[in-house]
Amino acid sequence: MMPIRAFGDMEPFKDWAILSVLVRRVWRGTLKTLAFGVNDAVWFALLYWIVIGAAVGSFVNVVAYRLPQGLSLIWPPSACPQCKTPLGATENIPIFGWAILGGKCKHCSTSISWRYPAVELAGAVLFAGLALHFQASFTPTSLVEMSAWGFFIAVLLALSLIDIDIMELPSELTRAGILVGLIFRTFYPIWATGLGNAGPPGLVDSLYGLLLGIGLFDTISFVGEKVMGKEAMGGGDAILAAMMGVWLGWQLLLVGLALGFTLGAVIGVVAIATGQLKREEPFPFGPFLALGGVGGLLFGEILIASYLNFI
Ligand SMILES: [Zn+2]
């Protein structure tokens, strides 16, 4: 039997066998800590949705680029914006395709914006958040649930990018979000848990959310106009808030709006203080609302519970 060796006997970084055992132990420990007792099936589902999220991010890039120009979303396939050379199969792989090309077109070496891989990465991270939040698995109900919320996230991401680009929130996207949200929240609970056990009807909660979203924004706009004598909020913001209300319900919508307004105010003040933004200069508010909505979805219940504990 081999004697157990003390650390003192080990030549640092030369004894690879011991080093590899240590690395493996740390790695396994990290995985266990991360997993919180989550089993292998859930890990596999998480990985699956991360890959899907990156691919969805890739499509969101296409939507954000083409929808405002009225171009087809599915044809032609992705190409260099400068020389129109279509991307090859490996270059179309989310995140890595951009890295393989070194951020430049292979044909004309026009540099390709880092925003494309960043959005793909955001898709992967957001879908990972969804998979963990909803404990994703490969059951039919879980697949439908994840697809529906994935659609919601994708619409929010596309709206944010378009708002940053042209300061508009196209109603095609917000209306599609409202429609799919109403259908999902009405029928999914009945299908997933059975008609008798569905609990409070999702549709009612959705409609409260919708009304609250529109009502709150119209009130803010009305008061803002009276106080400042100019338009305070774009009409698109109200419809975006309504769409978020349909998906989140009125309670999580309130959390989402609070997060969004706080984030927007903080970033706005910092941007004005550092001279990035002039006073009175309009800036897109959609991305902050969308981020607040994602925060409300993933952390709203925890935030509400800890708030109720606190008071
Ligand atoms: Zn090119």
pLDDT digits (tens, 9 = 90+) for 65-78: 999 999 988 888 88
Whether 151 is in a domain gets the answer: no
Q: Residues of the chain with pLDDT > 70: what percent?
A: 85
122 or 213: whose pLDDT is higher?
122
Higher confidence at residue 21 or residue 105? 105
In a domain, 1, yes or no: no
- Are 125 and 176 within one domain? no
Judged by average pLDDT, the poorest of 15-24, 136-145, 166-175, 268-277 is 15-24
Q: Which of 83-87, 94-98, 124-128, 278-282 has the lowest mean pLDDT?
A: 278-282
Measured distance CA(32)–CA(257) in Å, rounded: 35
Residue 156 lies in a domain: no
> What's the CA-to-centroid distance between 109 and ligand 1, angstroms?
6
CA 121–ligand 1 middle distance (angstroms): 23
Q: Give 139's contacts (C-beta < 8 A, 6+ positions apart).
A: none
Q: Write down the residue that tokens 């803010």 correspond to.
A: 220
CA distance 97 to 91: 4
CA 73 – ligand 1 centroid, Å:
20
Cβ neighbour number for residue 216 with a 10 Å cutoff: 18
Region 250-272 average pLDDT: 91
Average pLDDT over every residue of 34-53:
79
**Tens digit of pLDDT for each residue in 171-228?**
999 999 999 999 999 889 888 877 666 555 688 889 999 999 888 888 877 777 777 6
Instruction: State whether 132 and 182 are in the same domain.
Output: no
Predicted local confidence at residue 197, as pLDDT: 61
Same domain, 217 and 276: yes
Q: What is the pLDDT of residue 114?
A: 92
Q: What's the pLDDT at 247?
A: 96
Q: Which of 16-25, 68-77, 152-161, 254-263 has the highest mean pLDDT?
A: 152-161
Give domain status of residue 288, yes or no: yes
- CA of 120 from ligand 1 middle (Å) equals 20
* 76 CA from centroid of ligand 1 (Å): 15
pLDDT at 107 over 80: yes
Residue 251's pLDDT band, with cuts at 50, 70 and 90, is very high
Q: How far is the CA of 81 from the centre of ligand 1 (A)?
A: 7
Do the Cβ atoms of 244 and 286 come closer than 8 Å? Answer: no
Distance 106 CA to ligand 1 centre (A): 7
Q: What residue type is assigned to position 233 of the chain?
A: M
User: What gap in Å lies between CA 168 and CA 59, rounded to an integer?
Assistant: 19
Same domain, 244 and 297: yes
155 domain-assigned: no
Centre of ligand 1 to C-alpha 107, Å, is: 5
CA 95 – ligand 1 centroid, Å? 18
Assess whether 198 and 282 both reside in one domain.
yes
Cα–Cα distance for residue pair 23/300, rounded to 1 Å: 37
Tell me: do 303 and 174 sit in the same domain. Answer: yes
Same domain, 129 and 199: no
Q: Same domain for 303 and 235?
A: yes
Question: Pick the residue with more confidence: 280 or 306?
Answer: 306
| Total number of domains in the chain | 2
Q: How many A from CA of 219 to the centre of ligand 1?
A: 48
C-alpha 160 – ligand 1 centre gap (Å): 26
Contacts 24+ apart (CB under 8 A), 102-108: 105/80, 107/80, 107/83, 108/80, 108/82, 108/83
More confident residue, 4 or 69: 69
Q: Is pLDDT at 273 greater than 80 in this prediction?
A: yes
Dist. CA 52 → ligand 1 center (Å): 27
The verdict on pTM exceeding 0.95 is no
What phi and psi, each to the nearest 5 degrees, are found at residue 92? Answer: -85, -10
Output the CA 71–ligand 1 centroid distance in Å: 19
Residue 1 confidence (pLDDT) above 50: no
Looking at the structure, tell me whether residues 310 and 173 fall in a common domain.
yes
Rg of the chain on CA atoms, in Å: 24
Ligand 1 centroid vs 200 CA: distance in angstroms?
54
The larger pLDDT score, comparing residue 278 to residue 240, is at 240
Where is the domain boundary, 97, 120, 138? 138
Calculate how far, in angstroms, residue 68's C-alpha sits from the geometric centre of ligand 1. 22
Least confident of 221-225, 267-271, 286-290: 221-225
Q: What's the domain range around 311?
A: 169-311
Span 271-284, average pLDDT: 82
Return the closest-CA partner of residue 180 out of 241, 230, 247. 247
Closest by CA to 210, choosing from 244, 159, 258, 171, is: 244
pLDDT of 22: 66
Is residue 106 over pLDDT 90?
no
pLDDT higher for 147 or 221? 147
Q: How far is the CA of 44 from the centre of ligand 1 (A)?
A: 37
Q: What is the pLDDT of residue 46?
A: 92
- Distance from Cα 91 to the centre of ligand 1, integer Å: 13
Instruction: Output the CA 87–ligand 1 centroid distance in Å.
Output: 9
